């Protein structure tokens, strides 16, 4: 499993610049928002937590189809499926690799982009914490979506249609933590719920993803 | 009839034969109860003292919302049956129910908007119930899109049924998440059986008839669509056989 993780990480970092793409997308979304809503800093600081969460979510979504597509094309996915590793383990490692190469950089970049959007001072810590807690759920859910659409010719749009509704609870609780943190309220409750969703998805969804992947490789 | 006898209807031939006999009754029953409930509701009930005649949209709004949720529940059950026992009729029934449920969701949203405009002064509010219905609509959309996208029937049935299971959990999560996220404008439940204060009987009885009509309508539509799916599949099999022989 560790070898697979290392391989996926190496591929993501080296091949074709997919690694930085999500980050660049995140940056561009955040830069475009003030053009859309105007440069008033009061308004920007009010919507900053939501925009940052939404941007991170979309950046995550953008890189989902890479989780399985390349491996499926060159046949290494079939090879992995016949290896002694259980399918649940494979999808978990894939999700972890996706999070390390996409989610984690987004979490680290978020505070910098928060400065651009004039995020209030107390919000930074909560924003980073909520993203760090929430993005693993995004990766795991996204892996399920990617496993669903792996064999399809034009799976990209369908993938977004399937995955985005599943992102709703994570987004609600995550953005709520960041918003409450930024406004100086106690973010304990949504934080606990967000952590619950993340733990639940990590524990249960790999089984669904593995089942779906088995069907698709049949 | 023991419970085991239920599985007989998983045989497509038996299913078609039985529904041949039952379907006209259900269809006519639905037409009659719907007509009775709606005519009774629209013309023979008084106006509400606060809402005026707009209250009458309840006879479309509530039953369609009821069916929108129950259609998904039915899809959940039939998906489970497909995963566990692999009866093709079950998977096809889930496929047949999805568009009907989606239209019911749309009807509920549209009638709600029509009622909300004069009553709340807005077509749309980000109220938990409204929002979760919109999310339910998106789930239907994704489910149908996945069915359409996959060519192999069995693969499609497998993938969509798993999506239905996962989607149900997330739909439920979203329902309570939006509750947390925003306070409601929509009135609470007023049709519960265990509550003291409910909707008045004058409105309740025609509503009950209209709900029965919608249930029958849903059953009839799903049966018709399932039969169509079975026959379409049988035709494809026959065509394939013909090509083999040619």
Count of domains observed in chain A? 1
Chain A nearest-CA distance from B130, in A, is: 14
Chain B nearest-CA distance from A214, in A, is: 10
Give residue B5's pLDDT.
67
B172 in contact with chain A, both atoms CB, cutoff 8 A: no
Contact A218 B165 (CB under 8 A): no
Structural domain of A185: 2-216
Chain B nearest-CA distance from A104, in A, is: 24
**Of how many residues is chain B composed?**
246
Whether the per-residue pLDDT at B218 is higher than 90: the answer is yes
Chain B nearest-CA distance from A165, in A, is: 7
> Per-residue confidence at B188, pLDDT binned at 50, 70, 90?
low
Are B168 and B150 within 8 A, CB to CB?
A: no
Give residue A134's pLDDT.
92
Residues A19-52 have pLDDT tens digits of 678 888 899 998 898 898 888 888 888 888 889 9
Return the bridge partners of B52, or none. B48
Are A137 and A173 within 8 A, CB to CB?
A: no
Contact A152 B149 (CB under 8 A): yes
Residues B93-110 have pLDDT tens digits of 999 999 999 999 999 999
- Looking at chain A, which residue has its C-alpha nearest residue B176? A169
Residue A119 DSSP one-character state: -
Whether the per-residue pLDDT at A185 is higher than 90: the answer is no
> What average pLDDT does range A151-166 have in this prediction?
85
Residues B172 and B157: their CA atoms lie apart, in Å, by 22
For chains A and B, CB pairs below 8 A equal 74
* Cβ contacts of A137 on chain B, cutoff 8 Å: none
Residue B52 DSSP one-character state: B
> Per-residue confidence at A202, pLDDT binned at 50, 70, 90?
very high
Whether the per-residue pLDDT at A158 is higher than 60: the answer is yes
Contact A212 B138 (CB under 8 A): no
Q: Among A144, A148, A189, whose Cβ lies nearest the Cβ of B146?
A: A148
Name the B residues in 181-210 with CB < 8 Å from any A CB: 181
Whether the per-residue pLDDT at B128 is higher than 90: the answer is no
Residues B37 and B64: their CA atoms lie apart, in Å, by 13
Reported ipTM exceeds the 0.90 cut: no
Are A139 and A60 within 8 A, CB to CB?
A: yes
Handedness of CA B160, B167, B146, A102 (dihedral sign): negative
Residues B114 and A139: their CA atoms lie apart, in Å, by 39
A148 in contact with chain B, both atoms CB, cutoff 8 A: yes
The reported pTM is 0.88
Q: Among B149, B174, B178, whose Cβ lies nearest the Cβ of A158?
A: B149
Contact B180 A193 (CB under 8 A): yes
Q: CA torsion angle for B226, B220, B79, A67 (degrees, to 10)?
A: 70
Q: Among A161, A173, A208, whose Cβ lies nearest the Cβ of B142?
A: A161
Are B188 and A182 within 8 A, CB to CB?
A: no
Residues A83 and A87: their CA atoms lie apart, in Å, by 9
* Cβ contacts of B142 on chain A, cutoff 8 Å: 158, 161-162, 165
Contact A148 B139 (CB under 8 A): no
> What are the strands, taking DSSP E only, across B92-224?
none
Name the nearest CA neighbour of A53 among A122, A132, A120.
A132
Q: Among B162, B167, B170, whose Cβ lies nearest the Cβ of A169?
A: B170
Residues A215 and B162: their CA atoms lie apart, in Å, by 10
Give residue B205's pLDDT.
84
Give residue B70's pLDDT.
93
Are A193 and A137 within 8 A, CB to CB?
A: no
Give residue B2's pLDDT.
57
Residues A70 and A7: their CA atoms lie apart, in Å, by 13
Q: Among A161, A169, A215, whose Cβ lies nearest the Cβ of B145?
A: A161
- Looking at chain A, which residue has its C-alpha nearest residue B152? A216
Q: How many helices (H) and strands (E) does chain A have?
A: 11, 0
Give residue A17's pLDDT.
53
Are A138 and A170 within 8 A, CB to CB?
A: yes
Are A179 and A127 within 8 A, CB to CB?
A: no
- Looking at chain A, which residue has its C-alpha nearest residue B155? A215
């Amino acid at each position: 499993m560790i070898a697979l993780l290392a391989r996926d990480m190496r591929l993501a970092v080296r091949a074709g610049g997919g690694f930085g793409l999500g980050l660049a997308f995140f940056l561009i979304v955040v830069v475009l928002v003030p053009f859309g809503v105007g440069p008033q800093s009061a308004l920007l600081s009010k919507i900053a937590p939501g925009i940052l969460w939404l941007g991170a979510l979309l950046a995550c979504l953008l890189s989902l189809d890479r989780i399985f597509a390349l491996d499926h094309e060159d046949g290494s996915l079939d090879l992995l499926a016949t290896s002694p590793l259980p399918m649940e383990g494979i999808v978990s490692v894939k999700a972890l690799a996706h999070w390390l190469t996409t989610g984690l950089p987004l979490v680290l970049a978020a505070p910098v982009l928060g400065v651009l959007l004039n995020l209030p001072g107390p919000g930074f810590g909560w924003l980073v914490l909520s993203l760090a807690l929430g993005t693993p759920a995004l990766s795991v859910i996204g892996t399920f979506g990617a496993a669903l659409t792996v064999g399809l010719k034009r799976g990209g749009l369908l993938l977004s249609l399937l995955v985005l509704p599943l992102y709703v609870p994570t987004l609600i609780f995550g953005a709520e933590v960041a918003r409450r943190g930024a406004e100086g309220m106690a973010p304990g409750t949504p934080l606990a719920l967000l952590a619950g969703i993340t733990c639940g998805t990590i524990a249960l969804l790999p089984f669904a993803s593995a089942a779906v992947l088995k069907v698709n490789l049949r | 009839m023991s419970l085991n006898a239920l599985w007989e209807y998983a045989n497509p031939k038996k299913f078609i034969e039985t529904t041949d006999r039952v379907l006209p009754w259900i269809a006519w029953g639905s037409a009659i109860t719907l007509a009775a409930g709606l005519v009774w509701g629209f013309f023979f009930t008084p106006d509400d003292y606060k809402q005026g005649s707009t209250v009458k949209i309840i006879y479309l709004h509530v039953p369609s919302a009821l069916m929108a949720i129950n259609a998904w529940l039915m899809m959940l059950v039939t998906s489970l049956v497909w995963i566990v026992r692999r009866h093709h009729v079950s998977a096809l029934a889930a496929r047949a129910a999805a568009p009907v449920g989606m239209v019911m969701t749309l009807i509920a949203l549209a009638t709600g908007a029509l009622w909300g405009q004069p009553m709340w002064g807005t077509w749309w509010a980000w109220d938990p119930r409204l929002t979760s219905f919109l999310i339910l609509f998106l789930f239907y959309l994704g489910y149908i899109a996945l069915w359409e996208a996959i060519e192999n029937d069995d693969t499609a049935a497998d993938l969509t049924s798993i999506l239905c299971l996962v989607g149900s959990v997330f739909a439920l999560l979203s329902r309570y998440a939006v509750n947390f996220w925003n306070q409601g404008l929509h009135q609470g439940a007023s049709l519960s059986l265990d509550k003291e204060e409910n909707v008045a009987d004058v409105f309740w009885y025609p509503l009950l008839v209209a709900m029965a009509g919608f249930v029958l309508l849903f059953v009839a539509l799903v049966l018709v669509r399932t039969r169509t799916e079975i026959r379409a599949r049988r035709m494809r099999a026959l065509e394939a056989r013909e090509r083999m022989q040619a």
